[in-house]
């Protein structure tokens, strides 16, 4: 058995912890079965947003006529777009691996690994198996697509996961998406803007149902204008059709009350959420507690039920975003590498959905609030000079307590992923709704949408808008 000062399991967010440990003089082992960079770099955020940018360009060109600009999309080199994005991603991952291998303090095991004891990890190496151990272990084992057992036929019919969809070189003529969350919204936008017919089957009565209800309804209506959207239907079966429909895949879905529907496409993307990789790392053998969904349980220091073992990122389930995982990595470095006892905080935690329209959100939705006293202010894009010029609908919604505390903020429309950051910074700095409302905003910048929502929620007159 080989002993290290620190073992890091997972090369996504965990790579930052491993690198920091090596830089501070620890003898570190890093175990990652796939490419370094984890889900975000290789199978998630980075490739999807690079692809979606191309989709945004295509959509902008198609909509140019509404602004008096004659333009059209003659063709999309779909395979070239996918190849270009994935070549960039692969090169970045390989660069990370090369850096890891060059470190004198870091041993990189690019192999399968699993716990076989409390602080003992078995890794596949050189055709055999090797056991490694350390007094300190950071588990950053990630997550993977969740395939519901309730859908029959998934073991018989080929379908796409989000990882597959990002590397698909031949654009489907018609894509059926099972699921209505973030991934479904983003992939629906990408394939639709690239020229595919898209159908979305969601068990919820709205798309992106975790968002504020007003936002979710706005997104659902926008998608229903362009795609076939079936909300309130739970997928029950996948079927590979033959005869006159050979090569076509069929999705059967049922509502809570009513008749079954059948939706056909030449590809099916199952985007019904993600599950933690705690089982593949065999955390049970280490005595690490998990919740009913398999997420590793942690305390406020991100330490698990086993002393000296911390968990960060998707596998811990605190937030399942790359930016929250990066913040947790900072605390893992402080606590596991430097021996501190720092309690994790997520100041101004926000997220975005890069669909069409975009969504930006932080804090509570109206549905989350069980308190009776709160105020809501909304402001439409087309109530601003630049919003009118964009010719796109959307709105911002601010939720505040009577004393001005910012409880939540939600924006849907162009550049929502950027607009939300003004509020995230304000919340992180301890500012209240009045401060945002009274801050001088550049005219006619789109950020006036944000200011307008906060002026309304606090009863300020819309001066300067």
| Coil, strand or helix at 120 | strand
Q: 10 Å Cβ neighbour count for 25?
A: 10
What tokens does 321 get?
A: 């975003």
Taking the C-alpha atoms of residue 183 and residue 192, their distance in angstroms, rounded to an integer, is 14
DSSP characters over 160-227: B-HHHHTT--S--SEEEEE--SHHHHHHHHHHHHTT-EEEEEESSSSSSTTS-HHHHHHHHHHHHHHS
**Are 344 and 301 within 8 A, CB to CB?**
yes
Measure the CA–CA gap between 358 and 387, rounded to whole angstroms. 14
With CA atoms as reference, report the closest residue to 256 among 238, 233, 229. Answer: 233
User: Would you call the peptide bond into 444 cis, given omega within 30 degrees of 0 as the criterion?
Assistant: yes
d(CA 57, CA 129): 49
370 CB burial (10 A radius; 0-12, 13-18, 19+)? exposed
Among residues 189, 323, 443, 460, the one annotated as catalytic is 443
Pair 264, 174: CB distance under 8 Å? yes
Residue 443 bears catalytic tag? yes
Which positions are catalytic?
A: 443
């Amino acid at each position: 058995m080989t002993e290290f000062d620190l073992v890091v399991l997972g090369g996504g967010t965990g790579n930052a912890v491993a690198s920091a440990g090596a830089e501070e003089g620890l003898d570190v082992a890093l175990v990652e079965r796939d490419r370094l960079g984890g889900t975000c770099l290789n199978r998630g955020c980075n490739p999807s947003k690079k692809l979606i940018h191309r989709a945004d360009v295509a959509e902008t060109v198609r909509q140019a006529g509404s602004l008096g600009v004659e333009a059209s999309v003659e063709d999309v080199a779909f395979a070239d777009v996918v190849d270009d994005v994935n070549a960039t991603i692969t090169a970045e991952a390989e660069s990370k691996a090369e850096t890891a291998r060059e470190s004198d303090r870091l041993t990189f095991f690019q192999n399968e690994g699993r716990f076989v004891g409390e602080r003992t990890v078995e890794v596949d190496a050189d055709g055999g198996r090797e056991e490694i151990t350390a007094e300190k272990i950071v588990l950053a084992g990630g997550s993977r697509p969740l395939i519901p057992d309730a859908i029959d036929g998934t073991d018989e019919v080929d379908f796409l996961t989000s990882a597959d969809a990002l590397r698909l070189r031949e654009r489907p003529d018609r894509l059926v998406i099972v699921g209505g969350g973030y991934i479904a919204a983003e992939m629906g936008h990408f394939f639709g803007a690239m020229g595919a017919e898209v159908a979305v089957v969601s068990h919820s009565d709205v798309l992106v149902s975790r968002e504020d209800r007003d936002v979710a309804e706005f997104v659902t209506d926008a998608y229903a204008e362009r795609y076939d959207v079936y909300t309130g239907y739970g997928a029950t079966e996948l079927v590979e059709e033959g005869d006159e429909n050979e090569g076509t895949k069929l999705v059967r879905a049922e509502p809570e009350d009513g008749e079954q529907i059948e939706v056909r496409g030449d590809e099916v993307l199952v985007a019904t959420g993600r599950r933690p990789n705690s089982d593949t790392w065999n955390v049970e053998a280490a005595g690490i507690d998990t919740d009913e969904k398999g997420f590793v349980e942690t305390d406020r220091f991100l330490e698990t039920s086993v002393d000296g073992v911390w968990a960060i990122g998707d596998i811990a389930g605190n937030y399942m975003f790359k930016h929250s995982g990066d913040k947790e990595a900072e605390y893992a470095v402080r606590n596991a590498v430097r021996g501190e006892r720092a309690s994790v905080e997520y100041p101004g935690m926000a997220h975005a959905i890069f669909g069409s329209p975009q969504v930006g959100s932080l804090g509570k939705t109206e549905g989350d609030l069980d308190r009776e006293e709160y105020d809501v202010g909304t402001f439409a894009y087309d109530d601003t000079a630049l919003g009118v010029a964009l010719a796109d609908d959307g709105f911002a919604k601010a939720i505040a307590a009577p004393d001005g505390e910012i409880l939540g903020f939600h924006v849907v429309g162009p550049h929502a992923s950027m607009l939300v950051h003004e509020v995230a910074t304000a919340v992180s700095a301890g500012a209240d709704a009045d401060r945002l409302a009274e801050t001088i905003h550049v005219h006619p910048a789109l950020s006036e949408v944000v200011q307008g929502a906060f002026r309304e929620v606090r009863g300020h007159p819309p001066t300067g808008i």
